[in-house]
Structure 1
Amino acid sequence: MQQINDRQLAGVTVPDTAIIASAIDHARNSCEPYLFNHVVRSWLFAVRLAQLQNIEHDGEVLAVVALLHDITLNERFAGPRRFEVEGADLARLFAREHGFDRSRAQLIWDSVALNSTPSIGLFKEAEVALCTAGICFDVVGLQYELIPPSDVAAIVAEFPRLGMKQKMTRCFCHIARTQPGTTYDNFIRDFGERFVAGYKASSVVELVINAPFDEEQP
């Protein structure tokens, strides 16, 4: 782990290392402006939640994973796996190339892969849980009452939302339209069913019923 100094960003004390600076640059180069602001806000909200709840964690891991969690969320996405898994592989590669050991790199993979699955992510290691919480705070307002309104306002003022709801919806619908097989078991399915004409997810019920096994009668 590098020597970690602190700095202020939108009023939040965050760790400052060369790897974090590289992750910020990588996110800025990989994401549209609205999405870059989202990943930075997610990081800041995650850090603030950790501070307010006295949650010990690896600040470098949390920074890298929050900043890189959406690098595959764009209209260039071509699968073949769901965008979180594709992104997790890229984030883990970034971590390994920047000297993270296998354990820390695996935390990054888990955090990215589970970032949109709070029913699992919130119950894993502190870094995974905090990343999930920060992202869900920014996207759907999960645990919105935990961060003082003045802190939220300062973060959003520094990194404005830039029409995130509409732009993110457009991106989700693009993935549902062009790569529907990556969406049937995750939240993008909801966007496909609501907004994409002709979208029809396969049913887990049918998969179970049609599994290729003979069943003995009870």
Structure 2
Amino acid sequence: MTKSVDIVAGIKIPDSAMAKAATELVQDTETDLLFHHSRRVFLFGALAGERKNLSYDPELLYIGAMFHDMGIMDRYASDTERFEVDGANAARDFLSSYDVAEREVDDVWDSIALHTTPGIPQHKRPIVALVTAGVEMDVLGIGYDEFPEAQRKEVCECHPRGLKFKHGILTSFCLGTIRKPETTFGNVKADVLSKMDPSYERRDFAEMILNSPWDS
């Protein structure tokens, strides 16, 4: 179990019964690398929300962040859906046990399903935008200099990246998609399999159009 920290970089970790249940479930299901990554996603997302003066429910942001990679794990992985959709479905099923409005459940679902689809989340409601902002900061370093060094340091002291996080997260993405490579069509995970799976063959959108059954 990770040590209990109530406030990190000025951000309060949600501690409702629902948030605690989510923490326990994710910690028991995911690898340590993904668990700490998910907590950092929440923290960086929340810090971005504060900087942008966005109004949002921290508890829903927490659920979106904590579940965003659950679809990588065998327990929640389907045979045919993108892992992002599997994670979104897992969060929706989890929230069904709590008194959460349908629109808010939809926001959490979208925040997870869209977190690897660049160019869209920032135009959606705050929960959706901030989960992606947290992911992009932690994985890609997008907006890195917008977070003061003290914030970055405190977040990573509480939830360490480790020396090999970059390679570890790529391996996690690969394991989450290698058995269903067709789900990478049109999204960034095609880049992951292209780099890490020698047998992977990227589908070409232009060729699909040219080879469709239409005459012209």
TM over 0.5: yes
Query: Which AA in structure 1 matches 2:186?
Result: D
Distance 1:143 1:28, change over 3 A: same
Q: Does 1:173 align with 2:174?
A: yes
Alpha-carbon distance in 2 for matches of 1:87, 1:22: 16
Deviations 1:89-110 (A, max 9, x none): 1111111222212111111110
Match of 2:95 in 1: 95
Match of 1:160 in 2: 160
Alpha-carbon distance in 1 for matches of 2:174, 2:51: 36
**Aligned-residue identity in percent:** 30
Match of 1:10 in 2: 8
**Comparing 166-175 and 184-193, the one that deviates more:** 166-175
Distance 1:30 1:202, change over 3 A: same
Write the mapping of 1:193-212 to structure 2, written as runs, cut at 5 A: 193-212=194-213
Match of 1:48 in 2: 47
Secondary structure in 2 aligned to 1:154?
helix
Secondary structure in 2 aligned to 1:178?
coil
Q: Does 1:122 align with 2:105?
A: no
Secondary structure in 2 aligned to 1:118?
coil
Secondary structure in 2 aligned to 1:122?
helix
Match of 2:70 in 1: 71
Match of 2:135 in 1: 135
**Comparing 102-111 and 118-127, the one that deviates more:** 118-127
Deviations 1:71-104 (A, max 9, x none): 1224674531110011111111111222212111
Match of 1:4 in 2: none
* Aligned-pair CA distance for 1:174: 2.9
Q: Tell whether the 8 Å contact from 1:173 to 1:191 is kept in structure 2 after alignment.
A: yes
* Aligned-pair CA distance for 1:190: 0.5
Q: What runs of 5+ residues in structure 2 fail to find an aligned partner?
A: none
Alpha-carbon distance in 2 for matches of 1:186, 1:98: 32
Match of 1:144 in 2: 144
- TM-score of the pair, normalised by structure 1: 0.89
Secondary structure in 1 aligned to 2:11?
strand
Alpha-carbon distance in 1 for matches of 2:147, 2:172: 28
- TM-score of the pair, normalised by structure 2: 0.89
Alpha-carbon distance in 1 for matches of 2:89, 2:171: 24
Deviations 1:90-141 (A, max 9, x none): 1111112222121111111100001111311121111100111011111111
Match of 2:57 in 1: 58
Alpha-carbon distance in 1 for matches of 2:53, 2:177: 39
Secondary structure in 2 aligned to 1:214?
coil
Distance 1:175 1:25, change over 3 A: closer
Q: What's the Cα RMSD here?
A: 1.8
Alpha-carbon distance in 2 for matches of 1:166, 1:99: 39
Query: Which AA in structure 1 matches 2:69?
Result: D
